[in-house]
Structure 1
Amino acid sequence: MDSLLNTKSRIFDRADPHAVSEYVNQHVGAHCIQLPRTGHPQASLSHCTFGKLDLCKLSYGGSVHVTSPALETIYHLQLLQRGHCLWRGRGQEHYFTPGELLLINPDDPVDLTYSDDCEKLIIKLPASFLEKACAENQWRAPGEGIRFTASRYDLKQLEGIEALLGLICQEAEAEHCVPQLQEQYSRIIASKLLCTLANNIYREPLSESCPSFGRITDYIDEHLKKDISIEQLAQVANMSARSLYMLFDRKIGTTPKSYIRQRKLEQIHGRLSDPSAKVRNITEIAMDYGFLHLGRFSESYKTTFGELPSDTLRKHH
C-alpha cells in the first residue's frame, strides 16, 4: 500500500503545513492544526477525486496536533502507512501503527497527534453516499443516521478491504478511467464498508413474497434484443407496474427502462471490445439491440464509456 497516490496526484511536496492544512479544509475535511514549538515541518499531500470519493495521502512532517469538533457530513477512513498517530476519542486513546484503520463518523470529535514520520491514506465518503448505498441494498438505517460502532480496525483482518483500496487507488491514477467505472467502484467500497465494519444499520431478511430481482434481470438479459415492455416485466415479476418501478428504485436507484438501456449498451460495448466477435458495422449491431436513432445511440455510448463506439471498435479489431 506504500506506493499509492505518489506522483500523478501530488499537490504539495515538502510544503508549509498551514498551506497543506488549508487545502485539506477545502477538499478533505474541516480541521485545525497545531505545530510543534521547535523545528520547521515540511508537509506533503497527494489528492484526487474518484467517483463520490476523495482519496488523500498526507504527511505533515512533524509532531502536528490535528483537531476538529466533527466532520459533520462526511466519514473518514484513515489508513496509517508509516510512523504512528495518537488518537483520542470515546474516552480512549490508541497509537495507530502501519496497517491499522481509523474510522471517523460525521459526529465524532477528531483529536490526533502525528509522529514526525506519520503518513496516512484518507478516504473521504459523503454521508449521503453511504445512505444511498444502504437504501440500494435494502438495509435500514436509524433516523439519526449511519454510525460505525468501532473506531479501530486491523486491515489484515478485514477480508478484501486491502485489495479493494489498492485497486481503487490504482484506478484513480490510471490514464483512462471512465466516470461510470469510478461510480461503480465507489458504490462497491461503500457497500463493502457497510457489510464489513460494525455499524448500526439493520439488514431486514427479504420477505418470501418479494419477487426475485435476479429473476427479473435474468429475463432482461435473455431478451435484450427485443423491445421489453414494462407490462412484460411486471408480468414476469407478478407485480404491478408501480411496484416494479419501486423495486428498481430501491434495488439500484434507477428505472426499469434505464436499466434495460444500460444493459444493451454494456452488451454492445462487450461485442465491440471482443477481437473474436464478428462485427460487420456499428449501425447493424446498434439496430440489433433496438437503437434506431444512431446519433442518440453514439451520444449515450460516449457518455457511458468515455469514447465513441467507432473508437472502441478500432482499438480492438
Structure 2
Amino acid sequence: MDSRLLSERSRVFERADPYAVSGYVNQHVGSHCIRLPAAGHPEASLNHRKFANLDLCRISYGGAVRVTSPALETIYHLQILISGHCLWRGHKQEHYLAPGELLLINPDDPVDLTYSDDCEKFILKMPTTLMESICDEQRWQRPSPGVRFVQNNYRLDELEGFVNLLAMVCQEAEATDALPRVQEHYAQIVASKMLSLMKTNVSRESLGCQEASFERILAYIEHNLKQDISGEFLARQASMSLRSLYGLFERHLGTTPKHYIRQKKLERIRAALADPSCNVRSVTELALDYGFLHLGRFSESYKSLFGELPSDTLKRRSL
C-alpha cells in the first residue's frame, strides 16, 4: 500500500526542519500549528502533488509532533496511516490509528493529532464545493450546513476498492503529461466513491420505500449510468436482498446486475460516439465520464460487444 500512495517523484522535503514542512503544509494542505518535543531534533519529509482541485500529500515529522487546528473551514481531510501510530482526539473521544486505518476530518471539526516518531501518513485534501456539486448533480438531499461524514474512522479493508482508486489517482498525478480534464474526472470519482462508501448526513435518491418493481430498477440505472452503481448499492436502494436482486435479473434478462450496467454504459457511450450532434472531445474523456478507469479493458469490452474499437465509431461519424 505505502509504495502506491505518492512515490519519491513527488518529494518536496527530505529530512528537513519540521517547521519548514509545517509552513508548506499551511500553504497547500490546511491551516494548523505543530508542537515539537522538548528534546531531540526530528527530521520531517513531505511528498506533495496538486491534482485538479485536490491536494495529495504524504508526510512524516520524525518525532512525537502534536498537530492542532480549530477547524479546516472549507476542506475535508482524508488521512490514511501508512506506518507508526497516531492519536486522534475529538468530541470527548480519542482513537489510536493503526496502519491501514483511515480518518475523516470534517470542515468544522477541530484537529488534534499526535504523531509517533515513526508515523507516516497519506493525506487527501478535498474542497467542500466538490462534495456539494456531486450531491447536486445526483439530486441527493444535503443539509444546508453542508455535507458531513458522521463516521470518522474506517479500516481500508472495509472500503472495497478505495485504496486502489487512490493509488490510481497518485499514479495519474505523477504522470509526465498531466491531463487536466482527466484529473477532474478522477477527482469527481473519488468524491462520489466517498459519498457511496462512507456514512454521511446526505439523503440519497431512493427507488422507493417498498420493494421496487423491476421496471423501476431499470429506469433508475438508466438515469444514473454515470455513477458507480454496485449490486449491493442497488439492492439497498430497492429495499431487497442482494440475492433477490440477482434473481430478478436472472429471470428477466438472464444476466447479472453488474453485466447489465456495464452493457448499458457501453451502449450509451456508443450512442454518443456515433451521434454527430453530441460534443465528444475524446474517447478517454467519455469513458471516464461513465466510470471506466482502465481504458485498455474498456476498449476490449467495447470491441467484444460491438465488433469495433470506440475510436473507430468516433471516426466513422465524420465520414
1:27 aligns with 2:28: yes
Once residues 268 and 27 of structure 1 are traced to their aligned partners in structure 2, the CA distance between those partners, rounded to angstroms, is 28
Once residues 285 and 90 of structure 2 are traced to their aligned partners in structure 1, the CA distance between those partners, rounded to angstroms, is 52
CA change 1:142–1:218 in 2 (3 A) is same
CA change 1:265–1:149 in 2 (3 A) is same
- Counterpart position of 1:64: 65
Q: CA deviation at 1:35?
A: 0.6
Q: Give per-residue Cα distances to partners, 1:238-279, cap 9 Å, x unaligned.
A: xxxxxxxxxxxxxxxxxxxxxx212x6328999xx99x97x9
Per the normalisation by structure 2, the TM-score is 0.71
- Write the mapping of 1:296-311 to structure 2, written as runs, cut at 5 A: none
Structure 1 vs Structure 2 CA RMSD = 3.1
1:265 aligns with 2:294: no
- Counterpart position of 2:51: 50
Q: CA deviation at 1:20?
A: 0.4
Q: CA deviation at 1:135?
A: 1.6
SS of match in other structure, 1:169: helix
Once residues 268 and 8 of structure 1 are traced to their aligned partners in structure 2, the CA distance between those partners, rounded to angstroms, is 26
- Write the mapping of 1:228-247 to structure 2, written as runs, cut at 5 A: 228=277
Once residues 127 and 100 of structure 2 are traced to their aligned partners in structure 1, the CA distance between those partners, rounded to angstroms, is 24
Whether the 8 Å CA contact 1:268–1:285 is kept in 2: the answer is no
- Counterpart position of 1:296: none
Q: Which runs of 5+ in 1 are unaligned?
A: 229-259, 291-317
Once residues 52 and 155 of structure 1 are traced to their aligned partners in structure 2, the CA distance between those partners, rounded to angstroms, is 23
Whether the 8 Å CA contact 1:226–1:289 is kept in 2: the answer is no
CA change 1:173–1:167 in 2 (3 A) is same
- Counterpart position of 2:206: 205
Q: CA deviation at 1:219?
A: 6.7
Once residues 132 and 100 of structure 2 are traced to their aligned partners in structure 1, the CA distance between those partners, rounded to angstroms, is 27
CA change 1:217–1:66 in 2 (3 A) is same
Once residues 283 and 144 of structure 2 are traced to their aligned partners in structure 1, the CA distance between those partners, rounded to angstroms, is 37
Once residues 284 and 116 of structure 2 are traced to their aligned partners in structure 1, the CA distance between those partners, rounded to angstroms, is 51
1:289 aligns with 2:318: yes
Once residues 73 and 86 of structure 1 are traced to their aligned partners in structure 2, the CA distance between those partners, rounded to angstroms, is 24
SS of match in other structure, 2:189: helix
- Counterpart position of 1:113: 114
- Counterpart position of 1:37: 38
- Counterpart position of 2:146: 145
Q: CA deviation at 1:289?
A: 3.0
Specify the structure having the higher radius of gyration (Cα).
1
Letter of the 1:60 partner, please give it. Y
Once residues 158 and 219 of structure 1 are traced to their aligned partners in structure 2, the CA distance between those partners, rounded to angstroms, is 28
Whether the 8 Å CA contact 1:84–1:95 is kept in 2: the answer is yes
Per the normalisation by structure 1, the TM-score is 0.71
Once residues 14 and 171 of structure 1 are traced to their aligned partners in structure 2, the CA distance between those partners, rounded to angstroms, is 26
Once residues 172 and 194 of structure 1 are traced to their aligned partners in structure 2, the CA distance between those partners, rounded to angstroms, is 22
Once residues 284 and 166 of structure 2 are traced to their aligned partners in structure 1, the CA distance between those partners, rounded to angstroms, is 28
Once residues 132 and 13 of structure 2 are traced to their aligned partners in structure 1, the CA distance between those partners, rounded to angstroms, is 33
Identity of aligned residues (%): 52
CA change 1:222–1:158 in 2 (3 A) is closer
Q: CA deviation at 1:90?
A: 1.5
CA change 1:83–1:140 in 2 (3 A) is same
- Write the mapping of 1:63-142 to structure 2, written as runs, cut at 5 A: 63-142=64-143
CA change 1:191–1:216 in 2 (3 A) is closer
Q: CA deviation at 1:166?
A: 1.4
Once residues 268 and 87 of structure 1 are traced to their aligned partners in structure 2, the CA distance between those partners, rounded to angstroms, is 39
Whether the 8 Å CA contact 1:224–1:289 is kept in 2: the answer is no
1:155 aligns with 2:156: yes
Whether the 8 Å CA contact 1:80–1:96 is kept in 2: the answer is yes
Q: CA deviation at 1:62?
A: 0.6
- Counterpart position of 2:253: none
SS of match in other structure, 1:80: strand
Once residues 224 and 81 of structure 1 are traced to their aligned partners in structure 2, the CA distance between those partners, rounded to angstroms, is 42
Once residues 139 and 268 of structure 1 are traced to their aligned partners in structure 2, the CA distance between those partners, rounded to angstroms, is 25
Q: Give per-residue Cα distances to partners, 1:280-314, cap 9 Å, x unaligned.
A: 9xxx948x438xxxxxxxxxxxxxxxxxxxxxxxx
- Counterpart position of 1:2: 2
Letter of the 2:200 partner, please give it. N
Q: CA deviation at 1:206?
A: 5.5
Q: 2:271 aligns with which of 222, 230, 234?
A: 222
